[in-house]
């Protein structure tokens, strides 16, 4: 019994010894793999580029969303003035052509850009896997609401899958793969979305900007027509006409400036998205490729704050 116990003790010691060796080997292998994968992760420059892109795109989306809402409010105000001037052609919906339906479609495009930026931001930071997954789901859902964008199930599941992998293991290598796949799969849809936003603020297009221009001209026209009916000594009436003209001129001038800034920033965003696509694949490319876009968005934000702060 004693011999058996001694034999058991030796066997147990050998077993413990082997387990220690195994654990040591696993640790070393893990360390080697971690070092190897660490080298395959996003470089500091790449992370900086994605961070800058993400922050600037959030700003761009915020300004764009605000301008759709503010310009719609402008049209309502201008049409109210037309009523006061006695214009009988004012539409029942005072927002005129900038209807709720048209507005919602536009806001959906900007929401998709915002969700994209938030997802990229979450992927390059230490965001809990659950939050990354939520960001991914929000991005897919918002992209599907954008008019003219058709995200198929394969692309949608690819975004969801890579995000789960990237978030769960928190390995730099996986994170990089996740960013690469999200940027790649989202690329054509993001370009389409940017183009939709841009065309709305294009002064030559028949989209949102045309609806706004129509409203400013209608107010100016109503003021010109009212001028014949209001005697020069009618101070209140003349003030109403003058105020309407000033409002139409101011709104038109501001919308022209803001639109030009937004279309310029949209062009830079398109270039930045293309650069980002290369940046996440090349260790040599960094934030300098996003700088022009960031600069354009900063200018847009500054000018917008000046023009819209009432």
Partner 1 sequence: MAKKKGLGQQLLDTMEDVIELMERTTDPIRLKELDALRKKISNEAGRLIDAQLDASTAEYKEATAGLKQASAAIRDAIRGLEAVKKAIEVAAQALDLVAELAA
For binding to partner 1 (CB under 8 A), which residues are involved?
Answer: 89, 96-97, 102, 203-207, 210-211, 213-214, 217-218, 220-221, 224-225, 227-228
Return d(Cα 201, Cα 110) in angstroms, integer. Answer: 13
265-291 b/e with 16+ CB inside 10 Å = b?
Answer: bbebbbebbebbbebbeeeebbbebbb
End-to-end CA distance of the chain: 95
Q: Which is nearer to partner 1, 111 or 202 (CB)?
A: 202
Q: How far is the CB of 60 from partner 1 (least distance, A)?
A: 22
Q: How far is the CB of 94 from partner 1 (least distance, A)?
A: 14
- Token reading at 178: 């996740």
Alpha-carbon separation of residue 92 from 56, 59, 189, 209, 214 (angstroms):
39, 34, 36, 21, 16
Q: How far is the CB of 199 from partner 1 (least distance, A)?
A: 10
Q: What is the largest CA-CA distance in the chain?
A: 125
Q: Which is nearer to partner 1, 177 or 220 (CB)?
A: 220
Q: Which is nearer to partner 1, 42 or 219 (CB)?
A: 219
Q: How far is the CB of 96 from partner 1 (least distance, A)?
A: 8
Q: How far is the CB of 220 from partner 1 (least distance, A)?
A: 5
Q: How far is the CB of 261 from partner 1 (least distance, A)?
A: 18
Return d(Cα 156, Cα 46) in angstroms, integer. Answer: 24
- DSSP string of 154-172, one letter each residue: HHHHHHHHHHHHHHHH--H
Q: Which is nearer to partner 1, 82 or 176 (CB)?
A: 82
Q: How far is the CB of 112 from partner 1 (least distance, A)?
A: 19
- Token reading at 5: 């116990």
Q: Which is nearer to partner 1, 66 or 214 (CB)?
A: 214
1-39 b/e with 16+ CB inside 10 Å = b?
Answer: eeeeeeeeeeeeeeeeeeeeeeeeeeeeeeeeeeeebee
Q: How far is CA 33 from the centre of its chain?
A: 36
Q: Which is nearer to partner 1, 34 or 203 (CB)?
A: 203
Q: Which is nearer to partner 1, 222 or 285 (CB)?
A: 222
Residue of 121, 156, 132 lying closest to 50 (CA atoms): 121
């Amino acid at each position: 019994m004693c011999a058996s116990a001694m034999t058991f003790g030796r066997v147990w010691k050998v077993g413990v010894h082997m387990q220690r060796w195994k654990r040591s080997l696993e640790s070393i292998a893990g360390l080697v793999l971690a070092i190897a994968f660490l080298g395959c992760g996003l470089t500091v420059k790449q992370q900086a580029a994605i961070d800058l892109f993400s922050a600037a795109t959030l700003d761009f989306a915020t300004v764009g969303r605000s301008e759709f809402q503010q310009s719609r409010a402008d049209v309502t105000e201008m049409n109210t003035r037309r009523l006061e001037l006695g214009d009988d052609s004012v539409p029942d919906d005072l927002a005129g052509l900038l209807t709720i339906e048209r507005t919602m479609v536009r806001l959906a495009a900007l929401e998709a850009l915002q969700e994209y930026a938030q997802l990229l931001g979450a992927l390059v930071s230490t965001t809990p896997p659950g939050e990354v997954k939520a960001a991914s789901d929000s991005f897919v859902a918002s992209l599907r609401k954008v008019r003219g964008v058709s995200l198929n199930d394969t692309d949608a599941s690819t975004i969801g899958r890579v995000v789960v992998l990237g978030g769960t293991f928190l390995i730099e290598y996986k994170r990089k793969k996740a960013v690469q796949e999200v940027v790649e799969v989202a690329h054509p849809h993001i370009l389409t979305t940017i183009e939709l936003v841009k065309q709305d603020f294009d002064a030559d297009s028949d989209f949102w900007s045309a609806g706004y221009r129509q409203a400013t001209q209608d107010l100016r026209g109503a003021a010109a027509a009212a001028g014949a009916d209001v005697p020069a000594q009618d101070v209140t009436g003349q003030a109403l006409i003058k105020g309407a003209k000033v409002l139409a001129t101011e709104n038109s001038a501001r919308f022209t400036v803001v639109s030009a800034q937004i279309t310029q920033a949209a062009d830079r965003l398109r270039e930045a998205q293309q650069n980002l696509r290369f940046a996440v694949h090349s260790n040599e490319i960094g934030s300098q490729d996003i700088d022009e876009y960031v600069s354009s968005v900063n200018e847009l934000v500054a000018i917008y704050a000046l023009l819209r702060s009432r």
